[in-house]
């Protein structure tokens, strides 16, 4: 290889070509028009692997404009490696402003969490979705599941939930907990913990779901009814934690368990790093919070 | 005291710097040039072009170097580049009958018009490691003779003259071939779409599936009607011009598999499986042809009993870029979901233990009575 880089390969602004963006925007509009319906789209290869957020990245790349402010989280955190990587990608190919603050972002791309800070009108939450089909693990064939959605035939899902109760005494689905959208489509909320399901219900923000490998886009327009499936005698419940966040003392938030030593010691901290930092800036302190002034997290590069 | 692990960005940058270092390896060894890869690792380049669906030797060579020789990673690099390229149009269907053939063998006829041409093949080489190659010795020029004007019709065309084999498919005249890189896959799919997916499918996956049909999982009695490798011309219809414009040529490998005959309403005739890939890869073209035939089970009213016949199964899992991404994504953090499961298992265990203890207490009480 020559030492000098050559122009052997060049890429379009924001990576995707404009025709592709238009195709994806059409799929998004269709998704918004039919909340919860999985719209097939001609997903492209992206410069990150399938399964690593290619659907979310394509959706974000298609809707992002020069004035947008982007936040990317993975497991609720801005500093997990894949979130860092995707944020860096958009900085590189679209040169947009990025932030870690939920309230300041116009587009939030997420994997596995919804931020604790309530979303507002005008914000867009873009989910990365691995398997968009909520019925997939009950029926592996796409030809069958599409038929089931068309006929609104969701008995299989209720049987599965019932069998959970019969076997385990409770519904044993803790994440990717199926929801019904506007009383019509059963939808996979992506593998977010069921703790986050209620946040989807009538959210003022636009919620877009991109599944790159499976080539599907779906959407929840603002203020859409999103109801977690349950039974009258076994109503839907979210996870609760016995203790508050060890760093910011937050309650009623989703916590990660962090192993402290090899003697079984652990602590619980906020999964949403931005929320945790904001609270600590406001002076909230958990029982394991450091004494020194809060160390700023890495800048949102 | 717990300090959250930070610095993802610096860690990633450092990891990539280390990757670049490992990729280059010992600096006292000369760096590979792309032309060396194109010339001397040509079949690797062919595989990257074929499964990367981009006919460009230099880019494929670059991808191979960048991927440190990891073929699937190289294919991925090429795919991620090709997807950004604008589409100017679609060429006319290539005519493999008019191929400038370098190799052509048929297993069904001893001799046939155009003859058997061994060409540059590993077949009949004794697989003995060659120390002379390691020493980089000179290689003699191959023997060549002036090409003959004799046409080399496809074996399928020869058989078709007697009506012994099904014709070249019966797509309606106004059928516009699909494009799996521009439209989402939907099942069941037309054969043109399926063949596109197979052509860029993973060589190893198709090889294993093709092999499985030979071992009895959807056996369809294949014969290699013919395998041919060579250059075919590409032509593009340009609206302003009354003739098709030649764009150049590509090297392809084509396999026509002749399979089990079928009777039914029509007169008995052989069926076919078809394989076509960029570059030189008989293994891939033959495996593709076996899979194509197996996937036509429904068309011929055969029972779908094996994996190789199941269109959704085969096509959904044949793409190695998709497969490697999703398998390897398991490396990504999943601790939010794991926490949810952990919580559930802890609760269920607590209930289980409580039940056990209650049961034991009950037993003790009964024993005491």
Q: Which helix (H) or strand (E) holds B249?
A: strand B244-262
Kindly state the percentage of chain B with pLDDT values over 70. 95
CA dihedral B151, B155, B156, B159 (to 10 degrees): 100
Gap between the terminal Cα atoms of chain A: 32
Mean pLDDT check: name the lowest of A17-31, B156-170, B315-329.
Answer: B156-170
Residue of A nearest to B11 (CA): A81
What is the average pLDDT score of chain B?
Answer: 90
CB atoms within 10 A of CB B144: 6
Contact across the interface for A256 and B336, Cβ inside 8 Å: yes
Question: What radius of gyration, in Å, describes the C-alpha atoms of chain B?
Answer: 28
What's the gap in Å between the CA of A142 and the closest CA on chain B? 7
Which residue ranges make up each domain of chain B? 10-82, 96-121+150-169+177-321
| Run of H or E including B339 | helix B335-368
Domains and CATH numbers, chain A: 18-228 (3.40.50.11310), 240-289 (no CATH)
State what percent of residues in chain A have pLDDT above 90. Answer: 81
Return the residue matching tokens 């601790």. Answer: B335
State how far residue B132 is from chain A, nearest Cα, in angstroms. 26
For A153-189, how does the pLDDT look when each residue is reduced to its tens digit (9 = 90+)? 999 999 999 999 999 888 999 999 999 999 999 999 9
Residues of A designated as active site: 36, 245, 248, 270, 276
| Of A238-252, B262-276, B296-310, the least confident | B262-276
Give the pLDDT confidence score for residue B335 in this predicted structure: 87
Average pLDDT over residues B252-281: 86
Give dist(CA B221, CA B214) in Å, integer.
8
Q: Which among B8, B12, B62 has CB closest to A8? A: B62
Q: Token digits for B165?
A: 């084999």
Residue A300 has a pLDDT of 43
Whether A215 and B185 lie within 8 Å, measured CB to CB: yes
Percent with pLDDT over 90 in chain B: 63
pLDDT of residue B211 exceeding 90? yes
The whole-number pLDDT of residue B263 equals: 56
Of A17 and B68, the structure prediction assigns the larger pLDDT to B68
Q: Is B181 exposed, middle or buried (0-12, 13-18, 19+ CB in 10 A)?
A: middle
Residue, of B112 and A179, whose pLDDT is higher: A179
Q: What are phi and psi of B194, to 5 degrees?
A: -65, -40
pLDDT digit string, tens, across residues A191-217: 999 999 999 999 999 999 999 999 999
Percent of chain A that is helix, strand, coil (3-state, to 5): 25, 20, 55
Q: Where are any strands of DSSP class E within chain A?
A: 39-40, 69-74, 97-98, 107-111, 124-128, 179-181, 185-187, 206-211, 216-220, 226-228, 255-259, 266-270
Average pLDDT over all residues of chain A: 91
B312·A143 Cβ contact <8 A: yes
User: Does B329 contact A130 at a Cβ distance shorter than 8 Å?
Assistant: yes
CA of A276: which chain B residue's CA is closest? Answer: B4
Question: B195-199 — which CB contacts under 8 Å span 24+ positions?
Answer: B195/B274, B195/B276, B195/B288, B195/B292, B197/B315, B197/B318, B197/B319, B198/B275, B198/B288, B198/B291, B198/B292, B198/B314, B198/B315, B198/B318, B199/B50, B199/B53, B199/B275, B199/B276, B199/B277, B199/B278, B199/B288
pTM over 0.90: no
Per residue, the 3-state secondary structure of A124-171, as one string, reads EEEEECCCCCCCCCCCCCHHHHHHHHHCCCCHHHHHHHHHHHHHHCCC
Q: Nearest CA to A205 among A82, A120, A139?
A: A120
Q: Which residues pair with B104 in a beta bridge?
A: B117, B228
Q: Among A257, A300, A296, A301, which Cα is nearest to A278's?
A: A296
Tens digit of each residue's pLDDT (9 = 90 or more) over B139-155: 999 988 777 667 888 88
Q: Looking at beta carbons, which residues of chain B come within 8 Å of A292?
A: none
In the stretch 228-247 of chain A, residues with CB closer than 8 A to chain B read 239, 246-247
Count how many Cα atoms sit within 13 Å of the Cα of residue A120 in the half-sphere of its side chain. Answer: 6
Structure tokens at B65: 């170097």
A88 touches chain B (CB under 8 A): yes
């Amino acid at each position: 290889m020559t030492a000098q880089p050559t122009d052997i390969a060049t890429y379009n602004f924001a990576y995707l070509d404009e025709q592709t963006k238009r195709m994806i925007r059409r799929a998004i509009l269709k998704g918004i028009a039919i909340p919860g319906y999985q719209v097939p789209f001609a997903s492209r290869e992206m410069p990150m692997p399938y399964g690593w957020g290619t659907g979310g990245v394509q959706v974000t790349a298609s809707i992002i404009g020069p004035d947008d402010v982007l936040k990317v989280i993975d497991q609720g955190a801005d500093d997990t490696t894949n979130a860092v990587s995707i944020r860096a990608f958009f900085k590189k190919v679209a040169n947009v402003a990025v932030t870690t603050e939920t309230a300041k972002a116009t587009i939030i791309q997420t994997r596995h969490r919804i931020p604790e800070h309530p979303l507002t009108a005008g914000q867009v939450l873009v989910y990365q979705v691995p398997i968009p089909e909520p019925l997939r693990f009950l029926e592996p064939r796409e030809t069958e599941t599409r038929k089931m959605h068309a006929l609104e035939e969701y008995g299989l899902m209720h049987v599965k939930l019932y069998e959970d109760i019969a076997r385990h005494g409770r519904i044993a689905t803790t994440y990717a907990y199926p929801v019904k959208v506007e009383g019509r489509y059963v939808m996979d909320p992506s593998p977010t913990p069921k703790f986050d399901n209620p946040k989807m219900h009538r959210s003022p923000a636009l919620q877009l779901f991109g599944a790159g490998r499976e080539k599907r886009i779906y959407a929840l327009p603002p203020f859409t009814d999103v109801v977690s499936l349950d039974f009258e005698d076994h109503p839907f419940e979210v996870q609760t934690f016995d203790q508050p966040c060890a760093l910011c003392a937050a309650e009623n938030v989703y916590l990660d368990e962090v192993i402290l030593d090899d003697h079984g010691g652990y602590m619980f901290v906020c999964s949403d790093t931005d929320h945790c930092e904001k609270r600590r800036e406001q002076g909230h302190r958990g029982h394991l919070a450091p004494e020194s002034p809060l160390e700023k997290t890495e800048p949102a590069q | 005291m717990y300090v959250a692990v930070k610095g993802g960005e610096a860690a990633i940058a450092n990891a990539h710097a280390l990757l670049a270092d490992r990729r280059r390896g010992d600096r006292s060894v000369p760096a590979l040039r792309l032309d060396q890869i194109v010339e001397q690792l040509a079949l690797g380049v062919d595989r990257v072009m074929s499964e990367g669906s981009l006919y460009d030797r230099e880019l494929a060579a670059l991808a191979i170097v960048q991927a440190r020789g990891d073929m699937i990673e190289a294919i991925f690099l090429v795919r991620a580049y090709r997807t950004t390229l604008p589409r100017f149009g679609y060429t006319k269907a290539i005519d493999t009958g008019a191929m400038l053939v370098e190799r052509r063998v048929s297993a069904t006829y001893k001799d046939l018009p155009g003859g058997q041409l061994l060409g540059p093949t590993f077949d009949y080489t004794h697989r003995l490691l060659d120390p002379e190659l390691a020493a980089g010795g000179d290689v003699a020029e191959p023997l060549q003779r002036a090409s003959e004007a004799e046409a080399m019709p496809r074996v399928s065309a020869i058989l078709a003259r007697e009506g012994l084999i099904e014709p070249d498919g019966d797509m309606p005249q106004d059928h516009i071939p699909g494009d799996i890189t521009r439209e989402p896959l939907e099942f069941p799919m037309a054969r043109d779409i399926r063949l596109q997916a197979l052509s860029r499918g993973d060589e190893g996956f198709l090889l294993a599936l093709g092999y499985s049909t030979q071992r009895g999982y959807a056996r369809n009695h294949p014969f290699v009607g013919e395998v041919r490798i060579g250059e075919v011309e590409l032509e593009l219809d340009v609206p302003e011009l009354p003739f098709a414009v030649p764009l150049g040529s590509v090297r392809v490998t084509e396999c026509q598999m002749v399979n089990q005959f079928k009777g039914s309403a029509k007169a008995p005739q052989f069926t076919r499986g078809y394989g076509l890939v960029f570059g030189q890869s008989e293994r891939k073209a033959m495996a593709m042809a076996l899979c194509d035939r197996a996937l036509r089970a429904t068309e011929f009213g055969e029972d779908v009993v094996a994996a190789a016949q199941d269109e959704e199964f085969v096509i959904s899992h044949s793409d190695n870029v998709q497969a490697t991404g999703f398998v390897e994504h398991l490396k990504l953090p999943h601790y939010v979901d794991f926490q949810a499961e952990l919580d559930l298992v802890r609760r269920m265990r607590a209930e289980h233990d409580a039940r056990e203890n209650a049961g034991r207490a009950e037993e003790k009480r009964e024993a005491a009575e």
